[in-house]
Amino acid sequence: MLIIPCPYCGPRPELEFSYGGQAHVTRPTAASNPSPAEWNAFQYERANLKGLHAERWRHIHGCARFFNVVRDTTTDEILRSYRSGEK
Amino acid sequence: MLKLKAARTLPARASALGWRMLDPRSCWSLRVDLVAAAGPMSAADLPLAIDVCRAATRGDWSALWLGPDEQLLVGLDSAHAQLAPRLAAALDGVAHSIVDVSHRQAAIELSGPGATRLLAMGCPLDFDLRSAPVGFCTRTVYAKAEVVLWRQDTQRFQLQAWRSFLPYVTGLLALGSQELTAGI
Amino acid sequence: MSGDCRSARGGGDLQRSQPLRFEFDGRSYQGLQGDTLASALLANGVHLIGRSFKYHRPRGIMAAGPEDPNALVTIRRDAARSTPNLNATQVELYDGLVAYSQNRWPSLRFDTARINDLLSRFIPSGFYYKTFMWPRKAWHSLYEPRIRAAAGLGVASTEADPDLYAQCYGHCELLIVGAGPAGIAAALTAAASGARVMLCDEQALPGGSLRTGTSARIGGQDAADWLRESVQKLTAAPNVTLLTRTTAFGYLPHNMVALSERLSDHLATPPPGKPRERLWQVCARQVILATGAIERPLVFPGNDRPGVMLAGAARSFLNRYGVLPGARVVVLTAHDDAYQTAIDLKAAGVQIAALADMRTDPAGPHVEAARSAGIAVRTGTTAVGTRGNLRVTAVGLAGLDSNGAVAGAADWVKCDALLMSGGYTPSVHLHSQARGKLRWDEATHAFVPGAAAAGCRSVGACNGLIGAELVRVFEQATAAAADALRECGIHDQPGAIAISKELAVSEDRGASGGWIGALPQPAGAKAGKAFVDWQNDVTAADLKLAVREGFRSIEHIKRYTTTGMATDQGKTSNLNALAIAAQQLGRAIPEVGLTTFRLPYLPVGFGGLAGYARGDFFAPVRKTPMYDWAADRGAVFEPVAMWQRARYFPERGEDMHQAVARECAAVRRSCGLFDASTLGKIEVAGPDAIEFMNRMYVNNWSSLAVGRCRYGILLRDDGFVYDDGVVARLSDDRLHVTTTTGGAPRVLGMMEDYLQTEWPHLKVWLTSTTEQWAVIAVQGPQARAVLEPLVEQADLSAAALPHMAMTRGLVCGVPAMIFRVSFTGELGYEINVPADYGAEVWRAIWASGQAHGMCTYGTEAMHVLRAEKGYIIVGQDTDGTMTPDDAGVSWAVGKNKPEFVGMVSLRKPALQDPRRKQLVGLLTVDPAHVLEEGSQIAAEPGQRPPMRLIGHVTSSYYSSVLGRSIALAVVSAGRSRLGQTLYVPTAHGESTVTVTQPVFYDPKGERLNA
Ligand SMILES: [Zn+2]
């Protein structure tokens, strides 16, 4: 079981979290009138990295916040976590 | 006009070695910027928990830190009616959300030397006093139910669950009491 | 030899004063408290324990621990408590134990399938794949059932498991796996620091290899005394948890280790209520693996006869259980350790017929000790075969020349036990499960731990200290414990130095040597089978054949030959198999590599893994406050998400259709009472509540007045309908949003996602109130009349509270939210009262309704009533690929909105294609025929497959108020087909249908607005 460092609550067991997919995917606004390619990239294109991967988690059964984690997908080592909107 | 008797009906009313259901209480979900609310709440003699995963008590009311902008206010059922107006007055001009959740959830008290054992059956948190001191509170899981946990003393915990999850949680606790009795 | 094989010597695990009776294959035997089933059978001279998997060859006990591949038995307490495939070496004896051998018919001594052995040249490796390929059909009907019947492991009970299985989480700074000398030394070091230590061992008694017997003295005392004192110290330490009978079977990420603790299998009469096992999920800051090593068998012809045993196992049986493996034994070894076995057995009165060492010039203290004990050592000697049927009677020994080839004829030496040792293989299973790397160590012929996972350390034999002097093991273990504690931030370790003094070891003899792969055999000899994997009947020849047939990867060779599979996972066989394959491939062992170590390390029962999660506790069963009332009235429930919802309320022997017809009729005629409490409810509150809802839902919420409700639709960003529900504006800055029953958690999650990560500046908060409110729907022309007498401080009149309005008031004196909404097309109200009052308010409304012919209805009638009105159910009439326009609800989409979730996708040409499937009604030409939901729809009649299909039926019911069947369907360009005739192929021919508007009842909505 992963021990995930919630940027609000500290290290907590994976059972309290839900996974939220790749982090830092920018959602185009409707007003920006995104091209089909831009919109498809937002909707469907993900890096599926081997190695260091920035991904979203939510401490759903804890503080309920979404946040970001950098995890090595080959070892499950978590290098750091930070709040949504931070880099 | 038909009037009901005032008694609230909990979905489970049970107890066994190491735990018991508590009487219904008044519970409110307060969502507010803690920095903005700290002064007004203090002035109104209402608690606000500033420290992460810690509870604060003031008078009859306790505030449990559940998230960076989320507090669970817990008090006596008899004080239920007065809280909303007090809060509204205190937080006038501060953006917030206050929602009555008194009937959404109910509380179980776990106490005695078996309390952490009963918790460890279903909750993956470490209840060592260094990581979960008295006053520690958090949302977490108990087996497949979401719960709010509050350590009120070294060997005394409050476990809150949504009402439809209570039979599941108390059923597991009853199994745990059996295990305590069997001495494992 | 048969009868009493118990020695007066050894037997450290026994309580000799406590005899126990037990049964094996129907015959009664006597054992002693402390015995395993294996040791008790051997003590009775029983060596034949089972039949092999493929060839049904007679097999005996090879090892003393869980690595034994042969001695699988079924232990039966009663019909429900019958556990197959337990290893006799792991089964602790209790009084009255009943065990059966497996994989034999009709009896263990005479097994008809033994013919497989004689036909073995026809069943080589990969024989499943080769033989049973053709004809294809016969695989299911003939081959597979036969293979399954013949290939026998034990048979599981078909009854429900009556036992309890416990579960718990554990937390510690240091988890130590294995309570042998290394684990105990590490635990003593850590215990003194005050850190929380967990020490587990799969045996009933801690001690590991110290129990097998050692000449070493520790801290000036006998190893056994030191062990006893150390265990006492650890047991007394409040910060140490010592778990015996506990197998660490899985090493998961971030140092979570899964332990299976056996609580009552060793008891003659487990106390009622005592769980059988407990699954520990231990979150350890640091882990020390002290899992020891497993002795390797030697691969030579006939090495599988009962009586052929690992040398270390024989020493274990003697020193732990006082059991003699035979009266006249031959020891065959390539490692010093077996010498100790010969010495101990000789001291116990066993005749050592020969001690054959494959090495040409073995030397050192072990050899000297054996010689001075009067044991003749034959050096440079191998085995070329064995004789015997149900027990070994002789072994053929032959000399090896300087090139290691067999020289000269075999000398057949009579014996009743043959003890072999190829050295030891470190148990690196957990290290590897933790994703640690392995390194080939040429000196010990072993894979040893290389770079380890964070927080994981291996010490002792599992770290390659095979046969090493104990002092080196202790040094390594105590150093590892000190390092682990420092990583936990514990630098003050008072006990460490004192302990290393205490561990001073004397009279220890390190051991070395080893052999992997097949033993050399005479050139051109047609010898018997040389087994590599006993459990799967894989021989050296099978592995060579696999390589000749072109397999190159060890993972493929494993699967083709089945070596290393099944319950023992190749604990004794993997390295020999690898060496044989490598030699045949002409490559070095480290180049060929190992197969992957997967959990579980040892088999774990399903009960233990399921723990509490069975029956009532498989998952929470959610019930509304009105559940008991409905159950008392005989309601039939259906699961919806995790909820139990009343589906219908049968009266006097009604079936579902009769009950539903009656319930629907009552709603249309007078009124019905329905429990809608499970609907998801979310309070959206804050200054930006309306702005947030405008961005989430397709609707325009700015125009919704306080006290009014609106039907809302939520899309995903792909433009497809995700959820729907009525939304009420409670005040300027507060909305009450309802969701579908199943959608409640995920809708809240999706809203939180957008709020927190896309629009974090919005001042609005979301709170689930699903369980705060009990929701009582009162629907039908008499609804107002039923409710009015119970309501105060609220006006229910059509003028004051029109359709899609809400108000607050008291119902039965309870503060309530009253919504005038309808999912039936009738005048209707949904009364929300705080949940603790739900049941009482429900009863009061029920009582009030009796004068008006009120009836309760369930979800099935609700489905019919809404379908008559063409109201969709998300997830039934939509399937995750439907836009609002497809579902016929595009009227709800707000015009001129700058943004809402899914808006961009709705612009895609593909989502505006007029040929998309659209929601329509279908009426069958035969009004009595109710279409099957999910049926496909064709435009042209009489097609043969492959048909051209243009849609499917999503909802279909018999409508009693209309006196005919109705259906909702999605059909390509459906709205342009109104009035068309379409065809629905069914199992009983084609049904002809007419396309209609999806509203069948009261299309003008007059009843709704009454
Ligand atoms: Zn958190």
- What CATH number labels C167-293+426-506? 3.50.50.60
- Name the average pLDDT for chain C: 93
| Arch. (CATH architecture) of C15-127 | Roll (3.10)
Reported as a pLDDT band with limits 50, 70 and 90, residue C131 is low
Q: How much is the pLDDT for C602?
A: 93
Phi, psi of C690 (to 5 degrees): -70, -40
At residue C559, the 3 state secondary structure works out as helix
Picking from C378, C303, C300, the residue whose alpha carbon sits closest to that of residue C338 is C378
* Among chain C residues, CA nearest to A28: C904
pLDDT at position C1 over 50: no
**C964-980 confidence digits (pLDDT tens):** 999 999 999 999 999 99
Is B59 part of any domain?
yes
Subunit contact A63:B146, Cβ cutoff 8 A: no
Is B142 part of any domain?
yes
**C486-539 confidence digits (pLDDT tens):** 999 998 777 655 566 667 777 777 788 889 999 999 987 676 899 999 998 999
Residue of B99, B129, B141, B166 to mutate, testing the C interface (most C Cβ within 10 Å of its Cβ): B99
pLDDT at position C606 over 80: yes
Given a contact cutoff of 8 angstroms between Cβ atoms, the answer to whether B97 and B67 are in contact is: no
A9: distance to nearest CA of chain B, Å?
7
Q: How many CB atoms lie within 10 A of CB C720?
A: 20
A48: distance to nearest CA of chain B, Å?
30
Based on the structure, what is the number of domains in chain A?
A: 1
Delimiting residues of CATH 3.50.50.60 domain(s) in chain C = 167-293+426-506
**C424-439 confidence digits (pLDDT tens):** 999 999 999 999 999 9
- Indicate the residue of C283, C903, C905 with minimum beta-carbon distance to A3: C283
- Indicate the residue of A1, A9, A64 with minimum beta-carbon distance to B53: A9
pLDDT at position C143 over 70: no
Chain A residues 32-51 within an 8 A CB cutoff of chain C: 34, 36, 39, 42-43
A61: domain CATH number? 3.30.2270.10
Residue numbers of the domain that contains A55: 3-25+37-42+49-83
Subunit contact C254:A18, Cβ cutoff 8 A: no
Q: How much is the pLDDT for C138?
A: 58
Contacts of A34 (CB under 8 A, 6+ apart): A28, A42, C904
C493: distance to nearest CA of chain A, Å?
26
Reported as a pLDDT band with limits 50, 70 and 90, residue C826 is very high
- Indicate the residue of C252, C256, C760 with minimum beta-carbon distance to A84: C760
Average pLDDT over residues B142-155: 98
Q: What is the DSSP letter of C617?
A: G
Is B109 part of any domain?
yes
- Indicate the residue of B68, B70, B140 with minimum beta-carbon distance to A61: B140
Residue with structure tokens 């408590």?
A: C81
Q: How much is the pLDDT for C576?
A: 95
Q: Between the CA of residue C918 and those of C882, C909, C911, what are the distances in Å?
A: 8, 16, 12
Tell whether A7 lies on the interface with C, counting CB pairs under 8 A.
Answer: no
Taking the C-alpha atoms of residue C982 and residue C992, their distance in angstroms, rounded to an integer, is 6
Q: How much is the pLDDT for C281?
A: 98
Chain C residues 742-801 within an 8 A CB cutoff of chain A: 749, 752-753, 756-758, 760
Reported as a pLDDT band with limits 50, 70 and 90, residue B120 is very high
The listed CATH number (1.10.3720.10, 2.60.120.260, 2.40.30.110, 3.30.1300.10) that belongs to domain C913-1010: 2.40.30.110
Q: How much is the pLDDT for C593?
A: 87
Subunit contact C837:B4, Cβ cutoff 8 A: yes
Delimiting residues of CATH 3.10.20.440 domain(s) in chain C = 15-127
Is B4 part of any domain?
no
**C433-478 confidence digits (pLDDT tens):** 999 999 999 888 899 999 999 999 999 999 999 888 888 999 999 9
**C872-898 confidence digits (pLDDT tens):** 999 999 999 999 999 999 999 999 999
Is A32 part of any domain?
no
CA–centroid distance, residue A11 to ligand 1 (Å): 9
* Among chain A residues, CA nearest to C717: A43
CA–centroid distance, residue C1000 to ligand 1 (Å): 51
Is B35 part of any domain?
yes
Is A31 part of any domain?
no
Tell whether A1 lies on the interface with C, counting CB pairs under 8 A.
Answer: yes
Judging by DSSP bridges, how do beta strands A78-83 and A66-72 pair with one another?
antiparallel
pLDDT at position C148 over 60: no
* Among chain A residues, CA nearest to B71: A63
- The DSSP secondary structure of B113-175, one letter per residue, reads TTHHHHHHTT--S---TTTS-TTBEEEEEETTEEEEEEEEETTEEEEEEEGGGHHHHHHHHHH
* Among chain C residues, CA nearest to A77: C254
Is B14 part of any domain?
no
pLDDT at position B6 over 70: no
Average pLDDT over residues C809-836: 97
A86: distance to nearest CA of chain B, Å?
16
CA–centroid distance, residue C752 to ligand 1 (Å): 14
Chain A residues within an 8 Å CB radius of B66: 63-64
* Among chain A residues, CA nearest to C255: A1
Q: How much is the pLDDT for C2?
A: 47
Subunit contact A1:C252, Cβ cutoff 8 A: yes
Is B13 part of any domain?
no
Tell whether A20 lies on the interface with C, counting CB pairs under 8 A.
Answer: yes
- Indicate the residue of B53, B68, B140 with minimum beta-carbon distance to A65: B68
Q: How much is the pLDDT for C145?
A: 53
B110: domain CATH number? 3.30.1360.120
Q: How much is the pLDDT for C899?
A: 95
Structure token pair of residue C640? 């919806």
Average pLDDT over residues C236-265: 97
Based on the structure, what is the number of domains in chain B?
A: 1
Subunits next to A (3 or more Cβ pairs <8 Å) are B, C
Taking the C-alpha atoms of residue A43 and residue A29, their distance in angstroms, rounded to an integer, is 13
CA–centroid distance, residue C198 to ligand 1 (Å): 28
Per-residue pLDDT of chain A (87 residues; tens, 9 = 90+): 999 999 999 999 999 999 999 999 999 999 999 999 999 999 999 999 999 999 999 999 999 999 999 999 999 999 999 999 888
Residue numbers of the domain that contains B83: 19-182
Delimiting residues of CATH 2.40.30.110 domain(s) in chain C = 913-1010
Is A30 part of any domain?
no
Q: How much is the pLDDT for C134?
A: 55
Average pLDDT over residues B31-49: 97
Taking the C-alpha atoms of residue C449 and residue C439, their distance in angstroms, rounded to an integer, is 6
Contacts of C44 (CB under 8 A, 6+ apart): C2, C3, C4, C5, C29, C30, C31
Q: How much is the pLDDT for C497?
A: 53
